[in-house]
Amino acid sequence: MDFDLSSTARAYLAELHAFMDGHVYPAEPVYHAWRQAAGHDNHDLPPVMEDLKAEARRRGLWNLFLPDVGGLSVTDYAPLAEVTGRSHLAPQALNCSAPDTGNMEVLHMFGTPEQRERWLAPLLDGRIRSAFAMTEPEVASSDATNVATSITRDGDDYVVNGRKWWVSGAADPRCAVFVVMGKTAPEGAAHRQQSMILVPRDAPGLEIVRTLAVFGYQDQEGHCELRLTDVRVPAANLIGGEGDGFTIAQARLGPGRVHHCMRALGMAERALELMVDRAVSRVAFGGPLASQGVVQQQIAESRLAIEQARLLVLKTAWLIDNHGARAARTEIAAIKVAAPRAAVQTIDRAIQVHGGAGVGDDFPLAQMYASARAMRIFDGPDEVHLRSLARREIALRS
C-alpha cells in the first residue's frame, strides 16, 4: 500500500496549513465572541465565517472532498480532512463540512439533472446548506431498517409523514433542503423498503420542533427534531428509485467515514499538542507536569493511539481508491470505532492534564470532547460496527 500524496495534494496541503495559521486559528476567538454575544440559541452564521469562506475560495481550497472538483483521491484528501479537524471552523470554511458533503455526494452520484441544478449547484457554491434526516426518536435507528417515516405515492406527488431527530444543520437559516429517508414499501424485502426524497425547508407540514444540545453545547448549525405531517413533494424529488434508499445510504458512508475519522484525528492531534504545552508550562510538586511519569504515560499513550488509528484510516482510504467501498466495508466499520475512540481518549487525557481549565471554555477541549464523544453514536454506534467486525471474523473461520 502506498499512502504517498500526489503533487496536487501536497500543494493543497501546504496551502491549507498556511490558511489555518493565517486565518482560521485567529478567527476562532472572533467567532466565539460573536456567538456568545448573540446567544447560543441564535443559529445565524457569525460574519467572520463568510470572510473565511471567501479567503478559502481565493486560495482554491473549495469543495476538495469531491474528486471531480478537487482532483483528489480519497487517500489524497485524508490528510487535508485531518488538518481541517483541528478547528471546527475549517470544514465549513472550505465547503467540506457534514452533512453537506454527504448530501452533495448523493446528488452527484444519484441525482437527476434537475435535482443537481436546483440543489447541488447552490450547495457546491456555498449559497445554501442542507440536512440529512434519517434517525428517529421512536425507533432504534442504529438499525436503519427500523425507520418508520412513510413516503407514500399519491399521483404525481409523494406524501411524507414521520418524526426525525438529530438532524444536523437544520437550525441554520441557510438550510434549504432535507434529504429524508423513509419507507416506500413497508412490506417489501428488508433492504428494499427505504427510499430517499428531497424535502424543501419551506414545504407545508414540515415543522422544526426543537433544537437539541450536545452535552450542553448548541452548535451554530444546530441539531433538530422535525415533524413531517402530510408533507407533499413532487415525485421528481425522489432520489434514485423506490427502494434504493439503503443502497444510497451505504454509498454515502464510504468516503464520508474516512473524512469524519480523519477530522477526529485532527482534533486528537490538537488536543495532544495542548496537553504537551500544558505539561511543559505548568509547575506542580517542585517541577513541570511533564516530569511526572503519569503525565508522560498519558502523552505517550495518546501518540500511540493516534498513529495506530491514522494508519487504519489511510489503509481504508487506499482500499476505497483501489478496490471500491464494498471491498473496504470491514475497514470502514473498523475506523468508525477506532478513530473516535482514539480521539476521545486523547482529549480526555488532555482535559485531565489541564485540570479545571480543561472543562471550561478557555480551551477548546471541552467542546472537542463533546463532539468526539457524540461521534461514537452518530453514523451508527460503536456496538453496531463491532458486531459487523465480529460477524466478519466468525464467517472467515466457519
Say if residues 121 and 167 touch (Cβ distance below 8 Å): no
pLDDT of residue 243: 96
Place of cell 460573536: 34
Complete domains list, the chain, with CATH = 7-98+105-110 (1.10.540.10), 129-239 (2.40.110.10), 246-396 (1.20.140.10)
Beta strands in 14-123 (DSSP E): none
Say if residues 150 and 186 touch (Cβ distance below 8 Å): yes
pLDDT of residue 147: 93
Beta strands in the chain (DSSP E): 129-133, 150-154, 157-168, 175-183, 194-200, 206-211, 223-234, 238-239, 283-284, 287-288
CB count, 10 Å around CB of 7?
Answer: 7
pLDDT of residue 250: 82
pLDDT of residue 105: 94
- Burial class of residue 155 in the structure, from the number of CB atoms within 10 Å of its CB (0-12 exposed, 13-18 middle, 19+ buried): exposed
341: its cell numbers: 475512540
Residue 197 main-chain phi, psi, to 5 deg: -140, 150
Q: Tell me the C-alpha distance between 329 and 316, whole Å.
A: 9
pLDDT of residue 167: 97
User: DSSP code of 4?
Assistant: P
- Burial class of residue 378 in the structure, from the number of CB atoms within 10 Å of its CB (0-12 exposed, 13-18 middle, 19+ buried): middle
Q: How far is CA 77 from CA 9, 13, 82, 168, 330, in A?
A: 7, 9, 9, 23, 21
Q: Tell me the C-alpha distance between 313 and 334, whole Å.
A: 9
Q: What pLDDT digit, counting tens, does each position of 333-366 carry?
A: 999 999 999 999 999 999 999 999 999 999 999 9
The model carries a pTM of 0.94
Residue 136 main-chain phi, psi, to 5 deg: -130, 145
Q: How many residues are there in the chain?
A: 398
- Taking 50 as the pLDDT cut, the residues of the chain under it are none
pLDDT of residue 17: 98
pLDDT of residue 142: 86
Q: Tell me the C-alpha distance between 128 and 97, whole Å.
A: 13
- Burial class of residue 128 in the structure, from the number of CB atoms within 10 Å of its CB (0-12 exposed, 13-18 middle, 19+ buried): middle
CB count, 10 Å around CB of 36?
Answer: 10
pLDDT of residue 253: 76
